[in-house]
Amino acid sequence: MATAAKTRSVKFTYEDYLLFPEDGRRREIIDGELYNADIALGRSPSLKHQRTSANLLETLNAFVRPDGVGMIVQAPFDVVFPNENVVQPDLSFVSTARVSIIAKKCIQGPPDLIVEILAEETWRLDETIKRKLYERHGVPEYWIVDPELETVKVFRMTDQGYVRAAELSRESGDALSTPLLPGLAVPLADIFEQPPPFQLDFAGLPSYIVRHERDAHDPPRQRSRTHAG
């Protein structure tokens, strides 16, 4: 699912992007390639993905808003980089000093912080292609949040490019912090909340829904994920 939709040899542009129908599909253009067009309308993210996103948004907003240190922007909202690159990160932070880059329809240039929350269909894109894009365009900090493994990888910009500044886990009792937001300390246990146990009643449900739900409630597969940096 996280592969380029190579339907033509001509590179896609931001102008093409603006002409796409508003049909509920998430589309991104990176180096002229169209990504995520094959994720059909209705293929929603997992509950863990959505709860993790909501928890992070709530926590970051609670820290940022009282002192007016910046703005947190949630997907779907375009971030437009030079050279026809447009993406929709799960969360973006723009500091007050740079808030003028936020327009009505997009963020024009690199946010101070980008957060991507991994999903089964897109984790390779977030881990590799997007990480390289954000590094190339000078995003100061990039968090890769894995709701299945309950980990956060923090990439921070240096003169030599991104370095992996931290690799945190809920199991280790770690807390998330950043020099971009002095004083912020978010226990990962607050981000990766444990839902109460419940037993689904499959009676009367179509077989394809039963299979889908049982797969979703299986223990997470330990996918082999290699990370540069």
Report pTM: 0.82
Domains of the chain: 45-217 (3.90.1570.10)
Question: Is 191:55 a contact under the CB 8 Å cutoff?
Answer: yes
Residue 35 — φ and ψ, nearest 5°? -115, 150
Please report, in tens digits, the pLDDT of each residue of the chain (229 residues total).
Answer: 344 454 556 789 988 999 988 877 789 999 999 987 555 434 667 888 999 999 999 999 999 999 899 999 999 999 999 888 999 999 999 999 999 999 999 999 999 999 999 988 788 899 999 999 999 999 999 999 999 999 999 999 999 999 999 999 999 999 999 999 999 999 999 999 866 655 556 666 666 555 555 555 555 545 445 444 4
Question: Is 45:57 a contact under the CB 8 Å cutoff?
Answer: no
Question: Is 92:79 a contact under the CB 8 Å cutoff?
Answer: yes
